């Protein structure tokens, strides 16, 4: 069987997990892990130890790996500022790209990356693996069927992203404007922001408050409340935090034909009216007759990490047989537009209309990068995943 020769750039938490899925878990039968690149020797040593005798080529410089001829494609799992730069370089070397979320830090550089991707004609996927989850696919199908009419409002409280100070201290780039480019909106929430726009579309404007270092000793935001305004006048509310434990994950979408409620990304409740609210409003003048509600409850398995492999397998299918990608890389700009707009709204204390003013965003980001400090941390490479839930 022909296989895609994949090079991983960045074998930290995420890159290493993916390498294990491919090599040890054998979850990607059409992918051969042909190369690993990391700028830190200790990471390379760990990988060599882990994947002995697997014939993997090791590099410390991504460009050396790209021009070595041992890869057909790269998976990029490094800090966010380098996402557009490395992806663009890879397209230049004729390599297909699977990019970790978020697409980048600012929409300007992501827009340029997208243009290069298009010109190259190569396959470009984004790792928004939660779109593979049956529960979100179900909600998407309900909304796309048109049977529920228009969306009247959406509320997503997603405060179950608790992170400890030890997590933030686990890498000098984390939670800094210069290293990471943002906080909860840029690290934890890209999945939620991708899903909210996938399910409900892009809003026309956004107003947000982002609290910086509210619950942690960090220079970026760890608590956010935002209001979205959609084209039809419907409002959306998005609330997130890494400072609450236990947190909540509740998505509620109100439509003309009832409400769709999703708890913890696994329990779905669909409350369907027997006729839509516009129909009922006409019929019900003065009468107590309310639309009847039918409730259907579904339980889905909790989200698991193996969806990375599903996304990678579709990427291999796209390269080998021109099959459809699960998420086109170019779509990554949408969730980033939402977070860029939230920052800009907070920074300027104003409602931001989309498309946002990219110049102003970059100017404001630059001010923060200038005074940003890379942290002096002892344990630069502790396993951040193991710290997610510690207090």
Contact positions vs ligand NAD (CB under 6 A): 9-15, 37-40, 43, 62, 77-80, 82, 100-101, 127, 129, 171, 187, 384
Q: Given the complex with ligand NAD, which of 183 and 203 has the nearer CB atom?
A: 183
Q: Least CB distance from residue 80 to ligand NAD, whole Å? A: 5
How many residues in total does the chain contain? 391
- Residue 158 near residue 192 (C-beta atoms within 8 A): yes
Closest CA to 268 of 143, 135, 160: 135
**Smallest separation (angstroms) from ligand NAD to the CB of 16:** 7
- CA–CA separation, 260 and 154 (whole Å): 10
18, containing H or E segment: helix 13-23
Residue number with CB closer to ligand NAD (14 or 270): 14
Phi, psi angle pair for 285, to nearest 5°: -55, 115
Write down the least CB distance from residue 43 to ligand NAD, Å.
Answer: 4
Q: Which is nearer to ligand NAD, 172 or 271 (CB)?
A: 172
How far is residue 162's CA from residue 147's CA, in Å, rounded to a whole number? 36
CB 327, min distance to ligand NAD, A = 11
CB closer to ligand NAD out of 43 and 334: 43
Q: Are 259 and 239 in contact (CB under 8 A)?
A: no
Strand ranges of the sheet holding 267-273, from the earlier edge strand across to the other edge = 293-299, 267-273, 258-263, 249-255, 151-158, 235-241, 221-229, 205-212, 352-353
Shortest Å, Cβ 14 to ligand NAD? 4
Burial 139-166 (b: 16+ CB within 10 A, else e): beebbeeeebbbbbbbebbbbbbbbbeb
DSSP per residue over 91-143, as a string? HHTT-EEEEESSS-SSHHHHHHHHHHHHHHT--EEEE-GGGG-HHHHHHHHHH
CB nearer ligand NAD, residue 299 or residue 386: 386
CB of 38 to ligand NAD, least distance (A): 4
**DSSP conformation letters of 287-333:** ---PPPEEEEEEE-PPP-TTHHHHHHHHHHHHHHH-PPPSSBGGGHH
CB of 376 to ligand NAD, least distance (A): 16
- Tell me if residue 233 falls in helix, strand or coil: coil
Beta carbon of residue 141, minimum distance to ligand NAD (angstroms, whole number) = 23
Residue 241 or 311 with smaller CB distance to ligand NAD: 311
Among residues 59 and 148, whose Cβ is nearest to ligand NAD? 59
In the chain, what is the straight-line distance between the N-terminal and C-terminal CA atoms, in Å?
Answer: 47
Distance set, CA 345 to CA 86, 349, 380 (Å): 29, 5, 32
For residue 76, the minimal CB distance to ligand NAD (Å) is 8
CA dihedral 324, 327, 331, 333 (to 10 degrees): -150
What angle is formed at CA 317 by the lines to CA 190 and CA 16, rounded to 5 degrees? Answer: 50
Looking at the Cβ atoms of 17 and 276, the one nearer to ligand NAD is 17
Q: Smaller CB distance to ligand NAD: residue 72 or 100?
A: 100
CB of 37 to ligand NAD, least distance (A): 5
Nearer to ligand NAD, 13 or 241 (CB): 13
């Amino acid at each position: 069987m022909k296989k895609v020769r994949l090079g991983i750039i960045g074998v930290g938490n995420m890159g290493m997990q993916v390498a294990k899925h491919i090599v040890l878990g054998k979850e990607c039968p059409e992918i051969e892990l042909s190369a690993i690149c990391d700028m830190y020797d200790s990471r390379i040593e760990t990988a060599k130890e882990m994947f002995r005798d697997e014939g993997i080529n090791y590099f410390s410089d991504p460009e050396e790996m790209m021009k070595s001829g041992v890869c057909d494609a790269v998976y990029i799992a490094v800090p966010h500022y380098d996402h557009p730069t490395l992806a663009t370089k890879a397209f230049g070397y004729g390599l297909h790209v699977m990019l970790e979320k978020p697409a980048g830090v600012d929409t300007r550089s992501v827009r340029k990356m997208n243009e290069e991707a298009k010109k190259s004609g190569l396959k470009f996927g984004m790792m928004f693996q939660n779109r593979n989850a049956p529960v979100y696919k179900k909600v998407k199908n309900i909304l796309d069927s048109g049977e529920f009419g228009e969306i009247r409002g959406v509320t997503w409280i997603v405060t179950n992203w608790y992170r400890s100070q030890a997590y933030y201290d686990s890498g000098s780039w984390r939670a800094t404007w210069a290293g990471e480019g943002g906080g909860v909106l840029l690290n934890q929430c890209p999945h939620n922001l991708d899903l909210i726009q996938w399910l409900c579309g892009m809003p026309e404007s956004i107003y947000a408050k982002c609290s910086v270092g509210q619950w942690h000793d960090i220079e970026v935001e760890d608590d956010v409340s935002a209001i979205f305004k959609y084209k039809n006048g419907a409002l959306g509310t998005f609330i997130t935090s890494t400072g609450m434990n236990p947190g909540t994950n509740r998505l509620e979408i109100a439509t003309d034909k009832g409400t769709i409620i999703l708890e913890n990304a696994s329990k779905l409740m669909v409350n369907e009216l027997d006729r839509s609210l516009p129909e009922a409003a006409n019929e019900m003048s003065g009468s107590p007759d309310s639309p009847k509600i039918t409730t259907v409850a579904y339980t889905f398995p909790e989200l698991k990490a193996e969806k990375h492999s599903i996304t990678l397998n579709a990427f291999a299918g796209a390269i080998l047989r021109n099959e459809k990608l699960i998420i086109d890389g170019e779509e990554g700009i949408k969730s980033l537009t939402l977070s860029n707009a939230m920052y800009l709204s907070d920074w300027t204390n104003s409602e931001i209309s989309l498309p946002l003013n990219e110049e102003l965003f970059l100017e404001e980001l630059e001010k923060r990068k200038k005074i940003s400090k890379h942290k002096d941390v002892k344990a630069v490479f502790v396993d951040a995943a193991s710290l997610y839930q510690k207090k």
